[in-house]
Chain A
Amino acid sequence: MSQIHVERLSKHYQVHEKEAGLGGSLRSFFARKYRTVKAVDEVSFDIQAGEMVGFLGPNGAGKTTTLKVLSGLLYPSGGNASVMGHVPHKRETAYLKQFTLVMGQKQQLMWDLPAIETFLVNQAIYEIPKGDYDATLKELDQLLDLGPLLKKQVRKLSLGERMKCELAAAMLHRPKVLFLDEPTIGLDVTMQVRIRDFIAAYNQRHGATIILTSHYMADVTALCERIIVIDKGKLFYDGNFRELIEKIAPYKILKLQLSTHAISEHFTEYGKVESCDGVTVVLHVPRERATDTAAHLLTQFKVNDVTFEDPPVEDIIRQVFEGNRK
């Protein structure tokens, strides 16, 4: 049985609309106009225990709303959701003790006190036995290097340091299911890698099920084999990330550095020429023929250097979204 089961899940909002200006304000005061927004529209998927799934979609696609429904923060407008056998919106204590939702932009740490105070409060709230608390904190300290941060006032921590403490606060009760909503937002590359490594290690050590949303494709490519893509509340891809990339972008980028001058027409038979300035040529060649093509080109031209690259994942995902919207 799946650990997370979502069936035709919907969440609709009534949004108040007001025209600009004084006239708009007056009209809105006497006759309010409402519009229904389908933030999540009959989405279905299943996730097995221990899976790490990337949840992708443009801004406003319904990713965060779905995670909030799965966390029990929001009542669904329709459909069913079940996580570890619990119905999230019932908010049973047994359920609340087994998952965590980390929102990159929202915090649970007490701003004016050191992070250790929030940890102790969480220990009491989640009723974590002293021995377990000490062991978990030690493990989190090893993974996130928290030591010097714990006794500093939260408001005096840097963004990255705060995020590390946020993650630790959210993990003290050793959740079995993690909903991570933009956990690396605003962090520098080094800190992003650190957080990514932590998520992977936590998944391996505890077999936790993880749903991750991120606008940084590097997070998703590093952590998730499977992705779910939604837009305008509707699910339109659920499957292997690599397969999606190969389907949308069935080519590799071949970059040649020539020692003699050449023109783009020399390369059109090998693939699509993205650019050619005479000595540097960038070609899109079919994946299955990439190696043969490179070998052939090396025999035909005087090549100083040759490199292969996968197309940028951001571009592929953008193409997916644009294709869906058309």
Chain B
Amino acid sequence: MLKKYPTLLRASWALMLEFRGEIVMWMMSSAIAFVMLLVWLSVAEANNGVVNGFASGDFITYFLISWAMRNLTAVWASWEMDAGIREGRLSPMLLRPMHPVHWDISQNIAEKALRACLVVPVVAVVTLFVPGVRIDWSISTVLAFGLSLVGAWFILFWSDYLTGLFAFWTSQVEAIILTWFGIRLILSGMIAPLAMFPASVQTALYWLPFRYTNSFSVEILTGRISGGELWAGFAIQAAWGLFFFVVSRIVWKIALRNYSAVGA
């Protein structure tokens, strides 16, 4: 299968270049991180500059990395699955001797490469020129961040794919996708750092998958997590990734039995 990826990635890259304008528009939609930054800077200012251990520079760093995370882990396989089933585009893909998910994965990787071309310069410029931004650029931290980024993407991709599989049974998948996204927006730390949540909620979030799709990576790059806590985090992240992967595979097999392809 891996031998097919260079060709899939090349075609996906060509496809993404066709959609470059649309991708930039999607990136702008992730600017909610900067809106939330302004909100939290105001809150910090009203609280003598610090909220739950976060000073202004910490908020800027947090939401900058959170914005980068959002762009480097964005997934849309569920939308494709939903439209593919409704419009009949899934059928031709099922006829090929390759699981259609490989096409979703290659397109996602190609799109991430394109987004990275814009994200990296923005992070570099902000880090260099905005005072108070503190990122731990040590090699071990950057490697750990990179690993957690892949882990976050893995959870998001397979949970999103699983959501999309509901399209085999219902035409209301968009509602499920948006509800899941709304919950994730809050509980992954995209609206507020998890440190701002009550202790009991933080304990629950430690075990749930949301933290490991955003906050965990931000915590690593800002040096707020290390040692045993870091490895425990990776273990939980890997467990959730594996969980969504395995469940997706099982549901896919059941879904195919249920595929009606009426008019498709």
Report the Cα distance A113→B16, complex, angstroms: 10
Closest to A179 in B: B95
The reply to whether A124 and B7 contact each other, CB–CB distance below 8 Å, is yes
The reply to whether A120 and B7 contact each other, CB–CB distance below 8 Å, is yes
The reply to whether A112 and B15 contact each other, CB–CB distance below 8 Å, is yes
The reply to whether A13 and B260 contact each other, CB–CB distance below 8 Å, is yes
Report the Cα distance A28→B165, complex, angstroms: 24
Using Cβ atoms and an 8 Å threshold, which residues of chain A touch B91? 68, 73, 103, 106
Chain B binding surface SS class: helix
B261 contacts partner chain A, Cβ-Cβ < 8 Å: yes
Report the Cα distance A100→B95, complex, angstroms: 7
B18 contacts partner chain A, Cβ-Cβ < 8 Å: yes
Report the Cα distance A87→B19, complex, angstroms: 40
B264 contacts partner chain A, Cβ-Cβ < 8 Å: yes
B147 contacts partner chain A, Cβ-Cβ < 8 Å: no
A214 contacts partner chain B, Cβ-Cβ < 8 Å: no
Contact string against B for A residues 123-161, beta-carbon threshold 8 Å, 1 for contact and 0 otherwise: 111110000000000000000000000000000000000
Closest to A123 in B: B7
B137 contacts partner chain A, Cβ-Cβ < 8 Å: no
Q: How far is the CB of B27 from chain A (nearest CB, A)?
A: 19
B227 contacts partner chain A, Cβ-Cβ < 8 Å: no
Report the Cα distance A74→B88, complex, angstroms: 13
The reply to whether B4 and A125 contact each other, CB–CB distance below 8 Å, is yes
Report the Cα distance A99→B88, complex, angstroms: 19
Most buried by A among B88, B89, B92, B256: B92
Q: Which of A74, A93, A103, A123 has a CB less than 8 Å from the CB of B97?
A: A93
Report the Cα distance A93→B97, complex, angstroms: 5
B93 contacts partner chain A, Cβ-Cβ < 8 Å: yes
Q: Which of B6-24 contact A (CB under 8 A)?
A: 6-8, 10-11, 14-15, 18-19
Given A75-B259, A121-B11; 19 other pairs, CB 8 A cutoff: A68-B261, A72-B95, A73-B259, A74-B259, A75-B256, A96-B95, A96-B96, A101-B95, A103-B92, A108-B92, A108-B95, A110-B15, A113-B15, A117-B14, A121-B8, A124-B3, A124-B6, A125-B96, A125-B97
